[in-house]
Structure 1
Amino acid sequence: MTFEARELTPDRSVRDLFGAELRRHRERAEMSLRRLSEVVNYSKSQLARIEAAESLPYDDLPTKLDVCFGTGELFARLHTLAKKEPFPGKYRRVISEIESRAAVIEEYACATVPGLLQTRELAEESFRFGNPYAPDAEVEDLVQARMDRQALLERPKPPRCWFILDEAVLRRPVGKRKVMYQQLAYLIKTGMKPHVTVQVLPFAAGGHAEAGGSLMLYTLPHQPLTAYEEGSHSGTIIENQNDVATRRQNYDLLRAMALSPRDSEAMIRVAMEDWTPCEPPLT
């Protein structure tokens, strides 16, 4: 299969700049990806993803590239900056690609229902809260894109999905009571699928390392585990395996602290009672 170089924007992202410099020096040296893979002892596919800014290299590669191309500490310094860079919005495409290929998806949500579990109504309310001045057509496009993501849960061979929801997700109103009631009912329905597990982390569990943000772990066939952390306005992809291992431990601890799937369903049903739509007054 022929590798098609992706257009990069080195003026907007350090990750893109790293990929652009790698491509520029490789082509200047008249070196193919296959030949470079032999020199630095990396697979051709790994180098292709790094050059396309779809993956960040392990810590040993930048030094190997500097030695190979005689670039001093160029790649080492770019790598240091890239690791600190928040995951830019335009890289949400990469997250979508990772998600679509994942065999296992694990997510902790601290503030709102994960996108893969949202109803159309809650998705619309969420997008309108995020940008109250957005045109209706723009909001509808965003909602439809989120609904399209959920198709992976209905595939013949869907990924194994594990969702841990902070109790705040059940208690914080998003839209009208009816929206919340239907959303919690949908959580229960989706949690009954054999490949989906939903757990609730109760307030009583106390503090933990991932408080204040959301964490996603993606297991892809024949690839290292990838972690993604997201706050209210930015996200960060984590590929350094030491840092990923820390997130793995954090998630496993959250799973141990959370209620069992059965007790979680019971808590969701109790929360639903608080969101029962009010009957209109008799006239």
Structure 2
Amino acid sequence: MANGSRQAAWEFFGAELKRRRENAGITQVELGSRVFVSGGYIGQFEQAIRKPQLDVAQRIDEALQTDGIFERLWRKLIKEQPYTEYFAHVAELERLATEIYEYAPMVIPGLLQTPKYARAVFLASNPLAADEYIEELLMGRMERTRLLKDATRPVYWAVLHEAALRIPVGSPEVMAAQLDHIAALMRERKVLVQVLSSAAGAHPEMGKMIKLMEFEDAPPTVYTEGVLSGNLLDDPAVVKRVRSSYDLLRATALSGEASLALIESAAEDYRRCASTT
């Protein structure tokens, strides 16, 4: 499903939600209270600004007694997303975010990946998958990276642990090109990237990837990922705590200038390695 038709489908979801809510004679605030979200969120669902998670769609069906229509619509729309079920909503939120902050302990974040690096990541996770499946995953990943090329791109700030630079993904040529790509984005001032040196030792979020997203008209969210699972959190206390941890990571990381130098040095190391093989 193309982006335009997918958005139109979510707009239908929102319009149907509004129609059925109004027919039931309840306000956005009242429905929000019944499904454990704010009335503002219900308004954003109805305008297709935000997409509900599955459990919220299920609770809306219960509250409005709609015989599962919103769950079925949700499953249909998510199934046709080029992302895994647990990440599809995060990909939608990335497009709405005004600011995105990431910490990557082992792998270059998806928004910064080159096609060849991303393909190597997918192949490592799906060694027996058909080429068509890998290409489908790759198309979804590359669609996301266009976000940083748009004129209205969000502020993007990433902290990469040095391990993400040093762990080979694909060939040395792939790694060199990947690091060159990050360096180019930094020099073009499209992204802010810092490297957390291995010499820094222990730090607040060892081994945990973090994605913080802020929005113009909605509360900030935090996304973390585990094995074949993801957690999207918007509890203000949790977000505040994670933001504090992220600030500590940034304070511990190398400066932007030193980080760029390290990234370019690592790229050169990979090029030398490629020339000797």
Query: What is the correspondence of 1:10-21 to structure 2 with a 5 Å cutoff?
Result: none
1:138 to 121, 129, 133: 133
Counterpart for residue 192 of structure 1: 187
Residue 5 (structure 1) shift = 4.1
**Which residue type is aligned with residue 172 of structure 2?**
R
Query: What are the Cα deviations for residues 136-186 of structure 1, in whole angstroms up to 9, with x where unaligned?
Result: 011011111111111111112111100110000011011111111111111
Counterpart for residue 278 of structure 1: 274
2:98 to 76, 100, 103: 103
Q: Secondary structure at the match of 1:107?
A: strand
Residue 53 (structure 1) shift = 3.5
Gaps of 5+ in 1: 7-23, 63-68, 70-87
Q: Are positions 1:212 and 2:203 aligned together? A: no
Provide the TM-score with structure 2 as the length reference: 0.74
Q: Secondary structure at the match of 1:278?
A: helix
Q: 1-side partners of 2:194 and 2:88: how far apart?
A: 28
Q: Are positions 1:54 and 2:71 aligned together? A: no
Count of aligned pairs between the two proteins = 235
Q: 1-side partners of 2:55 and 2:29: how far apart?
A: 20
Query: What are the Cα deviations for residues 232-258 of structure 1, in whole angstroms up to 9, with x where unaligned?
Result: 432211111111111000001101000
Q: Secondary structure at the match of 2:207?
A: coil
Gaps of 5+ in 2: 1-9, 15-19, 64-82
Q: 2-side partners of 1:180 and 1:209: how far apart?
A: 27
Counterpart for residue 129 of structure 1: 124
Q: Secondary structure at the match of 2:262?
A: helix
**Which residue type is aligned with residue 54 of structure 1?**
Q
Provide the TM-score with structure 1 as the length reference: 0.73
1:153 to 124, 148, 154: 148
Q: Name the Cα RMSD after superposition.
A: 3.3
Cα separation, partners in 2 of 1:91 and 1:32, compared to 1, 3 Å: farther
Q: 2-side partners of 1:5 and 1:116: how far apart?
A: 28
Contact 1:210/1:250 (8 A) holds in 2: yes
How much identity, in percent, do the aligned residues show?
A: 35
Q: Are positions 1:201 and 2:196 aligned together? A: yes
2:24 to 6, 22, 30: 30
Residue 222 (structure 1) shift = 1.5
Counterpart for residue 166 of structure 2: 171
Contact 1:184/1:268 (8 A) holds in 2: yes
**Which residue type is aligned with residue 196 of structure 1?**
V
